[in-house]
Amino acid sequence: MQSETKTHVEDLTSPAGHAVSVLRYEGDIASTSKDAVLGTYQALPKETAKLVLLDFTKVDYINSSGIALIIQMLIEASNSGQRVYAFGLSAHFTKVFTMVGITRYAGLFPSQAEALAAL
């Protein structure tokens, strides 16, 4: 049974002093997650949210529809001139994201600290 996707937005500052918008996901990401994934991203102020960090540490499962939503979000971010980084993916989903080409749009990191250090 699929668990509901929840998203929390947090504003952080990278070690280099850059403002970072963090989208923290929880639950499963599937076709029913459109509001949680795309809606939350689209609500970010594009003028100030130039660096976006996606936190997958509390995501249990991502199906192909969920991956399509993530890809759509990453394409929108790329078109808006935003840089996106992700962390907290399991080894399996790191491999899947790499296979489907997500790494062309987002840097993948094991932890929040490593992702923030790259910004």
**Contact present, 25 and 59 (Cβ < 8 Å):** yes
CATH level 3 topology of 6-117:
Transcription Regulator spoIIAA (3.30.750)
Cut 0.85: pTM above it: yes
Q: Predicted confidence band at 1 (pLDDT cuts at 50, 70, 90)? A: low
What is the mean pLDDT of the segment spanning 44-53? 92
Which three-class secondary structure state does DSSP give residue 27?
strand
The rounded distance, in Å, linking the Cα atoms of 88 and 26 is 11
The rounded distance, in Å, linking the Cα atoms of 24 and 30 is 16
- Ranges of each domain in the chain: 6-117
Q: What are the tens digits of pLDDT across the range 50-100?
A: 999 999 999 999 999 999 999 999 999 999 999 999 999 999 999 999 999
The rounded distance, in Å, linking the Cα atoms of 73 and 69 is 6
Mean pLDDT in the chain?
95
